[in-house]
Amino acid sequence: MTTPLQNDRFLRALLRQPVDKTPVWLMRQAGRYLPEYCATRKQAGSFLNLCKNPTLATEVTLQPLERFPLDAAILFSDILTVPDAMGLGLYFSEGEGPKFERPLREEADIMKLAVPDPEGELKYVMDAVREIRRALQGRVPLIGFSGSPFTLACYMVEGGGSDGFPITKTMLYSRPELLHHILSVNAKAVTAYLNAQIAAGAQAVQLFDTWGGMLSHAAYQEFSLRYLAEVVSGLTREVDGQRIPVIVFTKGGGQWLEDIAAIGCDAVGLDWTTDIGLARQRVGQQVALQGNFDPTALFASPDAIRKEVGRILGAFGHGNGHVFNLGHGISQFTNPEHVAVLVEAVHSLSQDFHQ
Ligand code: CP3
């Protein structure tokens, strides 16, 4: 028996159905800007321990919801759990972000790459999804997520974060068949991983294509979008008569909105560089839009935050199909009180647009 949802605004907006207010959640809503998150992480010993302990992952997933009336919860995990489960050896070095012990550079290693079993090496993620669903008791829907095949490949080949991913791009131009092989394994891995999250209880899923936007126009289609399309077409889209909406977020993908909307997703995420009103004119008949408040604007005064929220709501205009979010993840230096201002402003200022 599934508990009925008390607040389904987020799912309704993704399906472009009428809502009373515009729903809002924030990318990285559970994170270091919250002192309670930092305390739990300290208790866990490290970020990865936190991800791998379903009870602690549940605790931090719920923390932002205790503070703010957000309309969705997002699974606390990371996109790099998938390459970790493929044997690359994920670790986080202080101040340097994620790293892999065994980056994928050699043809022989690339050819050995295999799809991990989501209920095997990644069972801790599915256990977290199940535990979070129980803890939520239907308050709001739970979002599952994965990195896009291309964004995962960037970290796998490069061995960590980087400015421009030159090793990955060199492979793209000089050995495209090797990169295609990685992408095709990643697409299968991501599809299986998201379908397992959906089976475990995720009520919507988001694909994070953080680095697709650094590709040339032609390379985006060939190396990122094509594999996003493969994933979207392989996803479970209905559970117990409920549609499971799929959100695709390519950071820097504003010029390709029509192409992204055409792969069969329910919603397209926008970073802050795109005008959401123009985006709606371009693709709003086909998909919902999610975004697109500049996360840096949360450093400004409460008045400036309210004004910017009002501007974005006004740019989208009246009617359905908008999920309010940031244009990228929230900064660790954000004042939580400013987040409260943003969430309150979205809910109060948006009511006029849903009359
Ligand atoms: O949105 C959420 O609240 C859910 C949790 C979530 C995390 N990472 C937690 C996290 C999600 C959805 C992600 C996605 C993710 N992870 C992406 C795609 C989105 C994006 O930001 O572009 C990427 C590229 C990663 C890889 C990653 N993980 C990086 C580059 C870093 C280091 C950067 C940083 O902020 O330190 C991480 C670590 C990470 N993932 C943290 C959190 C809360 C901070 C770790 C800590 O507590 O020290």
DSSP 7-19: --HHHHHHTT---
The one-letter amino acid code at 238 reads E
Question: What's the token pair of residue 49?
Answer: 């321990």
pLDDT at 96: 83
What are the sequence ranges of the domains in the chain? 9-354
SS3 assignment, position 289 = strand
Query: Is 9-354 in CATH node 3.20.20.210?
Result: yes
Residue 324's nearest CA partner among 10, 5, 7 is 10
Q: Are the beta carbons of 180 and 116 closer than 8 angstroms?
A: no
Adjacent-strand bridge partners of 207: 146, 248
Distance CA 133, CA 57 (A): 12
Q: Is 47 in the pocket of ligand 1 (CB under 6 A)?
A: yes
Q: Is 329 in the pocket of ligand 1 (CB under 6 A)?
A: yes
Q: How distant is the alpha carbon of residue 23 from its chain centre?
A: 16
Q: Is 161 in the pocket of ligand 1 (CB under 6 A)?
A: yes
Residue 309's nearest CA partner among 266, 247, 353 is 353
Confidence of residue 93 (pLDDT cuts 50, 70, 90): confident
Give the atom of ligand 1 at the shortest distance from the alpha carbon of 31.
43
Adjacent-strand bridge partners of 249: 208, 269
First to last CA, the chain: 34
How many helices (H) and strands (E) are present in the chain, helices listed first?
Answer: 16, 11
Per-chain mean pLDDT for the chain: 97
Cβ neighbours of 346 (radius 10 Å) = 25
Cβ density class 154-174: b for 16+ within 10 Å, e for less: bbbbbbbeeeebebbbebbee
Q: Are the beta carbons of 167 and 158 closer than 8 angstroms?
A: yes
Adjacent-strand bridge partners of 246: 205
Question: What's the token pair of residue 42?
Answer: 């300290």
pLDDT at 53: 97
pLDDT at 340: 98
| Mean pLDDT in residue range 221-228 | 98
Q: Whose CA is nearest to atom 21 of ligand 1?
A: 329
The yes-or-no verdict on residue 1 having pLDDT over 60 is no
Active site residue 9: no
pLDDT in tens, 3-41: 789 999 999 999 999 999 999 999 999 999 999 999 999
pLDDT in tens, 59-71: 999 999 999 999 9
Q: Is 30 in the pocket of ligand 1 (CB under 6 A)?
A: yes
3-state helix, strand, coil in the chain (%, to 5): 50, 15, 35
Active site residue 117: no
Adjacent-strand bridge partners of 239: 242
Active site residue 220: no
Distance CA 104, CA 100 (A): 9
Q: At what angle do helices 276-283 and 302-316 cross, to 10 degrees?
A: 20
pLDDT in tens, 307-338: 999 999 999 999 999 999 999 999 999 999 99
Confidence of residue 355 (pLDDT cuts 50, 70, 90): confident
Distance CA 339, CA 29 (A): 9
Adjacent-strand bridge partners of 143: 74, 204
The yes-or-no verdict on residue 95 having pLDDT over 90 is no
> How many residues are recorded in the chain?
355
